Amino acid sequence: MKYLVLDTNVYLHYKDFEQVDWQSLVGDDVTICVPAVVLGEIDKHKDQNRGKIQKRAKKLSSRFYEIFLLNAETAIAVKEMDNPPSTAFDDTKYHKDINDDWIILSALHSSYDFSDIIIVSGDNGLLLKAKHSGLGFFKMPDDLRISEELSEEEKEIKKLKERLAKHEARLPQPLIEFENRTDHLVIHKPAFIDIRGQLDIYETQLKEEHPYRTDMNNVRWQTRSINRVADYNEKLDDYYKKKIELKRRQLEKELLDQRFVRIDFWLGNIGTSSLGETVVFITFPSNVALYDEDSKTSFTLEDPKEPLLNDSRDNIMENFASVLDYHDKEYEDIEMWDVDKMLDNHKLNYSSSKLVHNLCTKITTKEPIYVDLVQCGNFIVKWTVFDSELIEPVNGELHVIIEEANLNNQN
């Protein structure tokens, strides 16, 4: 005869204990021994749990009432097993707040021979404790585990979830992305031009190509010619100044064009139905300076012609006029960024209508938005989409990553 002490999980999660062929499993006649602590755990599940576990616990509690109080007939011998004496916990290996220890000690302090007691569980922890305590142990086979039958409440919840999933599957799903169709935009800082260095090179080349005049060979009326040369060199200084100023402004414009980068956004719909009336808000951090096309300043600079000096007596009047008046002057219009003309507003808004599934549209604001790579580092753009087809707004973030120029790779 073997005395089987079943863990609580065997009663709650496996085939009805009275319907299991225990003799085939353990190879001997058996008696089911039910510790008081197991009865208490089943009552707790009956009173505190919900769903199928509560239903199973109520059925077990009622069955044990019939067996132990009304002496109902059973398909297999079933006996109560008393709790261990309180002194059993003097052994520091066991603890009163651990139910598994109560089961082990109930078996150890029963009237049955240790060699005939078998702890039965689906929990490896309890079986290991049984082994270390000198008791037999048996793990319940998986094929005796009952299927996870849903309670009526769980079945209703499952149906509602399925209906909700079908509904959500037919909803639009707005999304804001960068032009590269991702939520990360990596901007590589260029190697900014060296204005001072390039101006020095330009000035040297300018003066080499247009040098001062120091003599006038084969010129009649020498006194007048000397005066004309001095006049020419004076005008040449003015020519240098204006050419260098024009070049400086051109280089400044080129540098600022390198610094300012346009940020474009796209509205997409990855849902399975069309968006309704959509309003998008895009918010930049307050510490990121924003600019648009109105942040540029326009001005006009003279592109001078070199003064003319001719040795020929026949062209004296022509040369004299050219020195004084700079015939056919030319001008260049320059439009460049003004770093002080930043925008006050850091929130953009955009409206759209009926954007269908799997399509996207560029978000067009009044003016394109630019950032200055010199004034900002990495930052996060937050967005919110309100749509008439959705109950709640949709929120998200976009990440702008500014990578420094790799000077080792520059020529």
Same domain, 125 and 220: no
The answer to the question of residue 74 being in a domain is: yes
Asked if residues 59 and 13 have their Cβ atoms less than 8 Å apart, the reply is: no
Is the CB of residue 240 less than 8 Å from the CB of residue 212? no
Sheet-wide strand order for 290-291: 260-263, 369-372, 290-291
Q: Judge residue 54's burial from the number of C-beta atoms within 10 Å of its C-beta, 0-12 exposed, 13-18 middle, 19 or more buried.
A: middle
- Do 236 and 136 belong to one domain? no
Same domain, 118 and 256: no
pLDDT of 24 reads 93
Are residues 54 and 135 part of one domain?
yes
**196 vs 218: CA distance, rounded Å:** 41
Count CA within 13 A, CB hemisphere, residue 208. Answer: 6
Task: Name the residue with higher pLDDT: 158 or 103.
Answer: 103
Q: How far apart are CA 351 and CA 278, in angstroms?
A: 6
Note down the domain range covering 82. Answer: 2-144
> What mean pLDDT is predicted for residues 365-390?
93
Residue 138: which H helix or E strand, with range? Answer: strand 136-139
Residues 6 or more apart whose Cβ sits within 8 Å of residue 252: 195, 336
The two three-digit tokens of residue 236, written as one number: 């040449």
* CA 386/CA 392 separation, integer angstroms: 7
Q: What pLDDT is stored for residue 161 in this prediction?
A: 85
pLDDT at 315 over 60: no
Q: What is the DSSP string of 336-378?
A: EE-TT---S--EEEEEEE-PPTT-EEE---SS-EEEETTT--S
Q: Give the pLDDT of residue 150.
A: 66
Q: DSSP 3-state assignment of 151?
A: coil
The answer on pLDDT for 326 being more than 50 is no
Q: Do 251 and 374 reside in the same domain of the chain? A: yes
pTM of this prediction? 0.55
Contact 284, 346 (CB under 8 A): yes
Task: Kindly state the average pLDDT of the residues 185-210.
Answer: 94
Is the model's pLDDT at 325 over the cut of 60? no
| One domain, residues 138 and 204 | no
Asked if residue 194 and residue 241 are part of one domain, the reply reads: yes
- CATH number of domain containing 78: 3.40.50.1010
pLDDT in tens, 73-120: 998 999 999 999 999 999 989 999 999 999 999 999 999 998 999 999
- Provide DSSP, 290-348: EE-GGGEEEEEEEEPPPPP----GGGHHHHHHHHHH-SS-EEEEEEEE-TT---S--EE
pLDDT at residue 319 greater than cutoff 70:
no
> Are 201 and 128 found together in one domain?
no
Tell me the β-bridge partners of 331.
302
Q: Both 179 and 291 in a single domain? A: yes
Is residue 194 domain-shared with residue 114, that is, in the same domain?
Answer: no
Same domain, 131 and 249: no
55: number of Cβ within 10 Å: 16
408 secondary structure, DSSP code: G
Instruction: Please tell me the predicted confidence (pLDDT) of residue 225.
Output: 65
Has residue 18 been placed in a domain?
yes
Q: Count how many domains the chain has.
A: 2
Q: Do residues 102 and 37 lie in contact, with contact meaning Cβ atoms separated by under 8 Å?
A: yes
User: How far apart are the C-alpha atoms of 385 and 332, rounded to whole Å?
Assistant: 45
Q: What is the pLDDT of residues 256-297, one digit of tens each?
A: 999 999 999 999 998 888 899 999 999 999 999 999 999 999
Give yes or no: residues 122 and 204 share one domain.
no
Tell me which residue of 341, 348, 344, 340 sits closest to 367, measured CA to CA: 348
Distance CA 180, CA 44 (A): 58
The one-letter amino acid code at 66 reads E
